[in-house]
Structure 1
Amino acid sequence: MEIFLALLGFFSLGLMVWLLLKDYTTPALAFISVSISVACILLILEQLGFGVGAALEVKGDVFDIKTLVAFIKDGVKSVTDTAALFVFSILFFSVLNASGFFTKILNAFLSKMKANVYQVCILTVFIAAAVHLDGSGASTFLIVIPALLPIYERLG
């Protein structure tokens, strides 16, 4: 059963990637619909007696709707803080960019680099390394990309 669950997990990830690469759906819809479909398959297999609950090491060895709801609640709790951080940091950097806050900084960087793509890439690596010293990939993503996106857009 463990191998089946692993294969089902890989299949669901592959299906999500395929749906996104073919532009059949949006990312949120792909993640939600594929996850719900896999959960329904697992619930049906548990009801048929395949021992999904024991393989998932569920308390009482029964995988039912209550257990699924508990999994969903735990998952939402684990990503809520990061999702809020993403939303507000994207809004924050978008407002700063729209107000022209980065214009002088960008002009200074571009005048010294003379629109050299290699130097901009090296600058990106150094900024990402400095920001990643806190160990959080999310904060690295949220600081480096919004701050340097206008430079990459100007370079074409």
Structure 2
Amino acid sequence: MAIAVGLSAGAACAGTVTATASVSVIVLAPVTLQATQGLDFGAVTKPGNAGFNTVSLDAASSNVTVSGTGDAARAAGGAVNSARFSLIGDAGITYSTTQSLTFAQPGLARVSVSTPVAANGALGVIPAGGRQELRFGGAFDLSAATPVQSYTGALSVTVNYN
């Protein structure tokens, strides 16, 4: 006796299936950064006593102040300027900065650079017109042991934009 068994495997389909997804991209102009003015603390006399002084340059006003227990002073004359950078890109682009200040000659202690101050528009957003001036100040400490010499260095600024 023979039994016929029939197996059915659901309906089989032959062929292909295609779907489409949307694609988009926004192309922005590159952001550029140009140094337009260097950071210049002017001239200061080092302390003659046993105290320490901090020399600070304000980014917004370019004013130099000398504070601390030493008797250092800002010398008359000489240029004093905050550093200035021109940031150029599409209006509305948001960004952040990192910055560092170094001197080539040893002798100055606790060297630091300020956070930027935007001369126009809100810091962190390129304003209408596509150009923003960023200003930087800084600070350092000196004592009676600080070598008398001209100090030169570099202020490096990196802009990270979205």
TM-score (norm 2): 0.22
Larger proportion of helix: 1
Looking at both structures, which has the greater relative contact order when contacts are Cα pairs under 8 Å and sequence separation is at least 6? 2
Larger Rg: 1 or 2?
Answer: 2
Larger proportion of strand: 2
TM-score (norm 1): 0.23
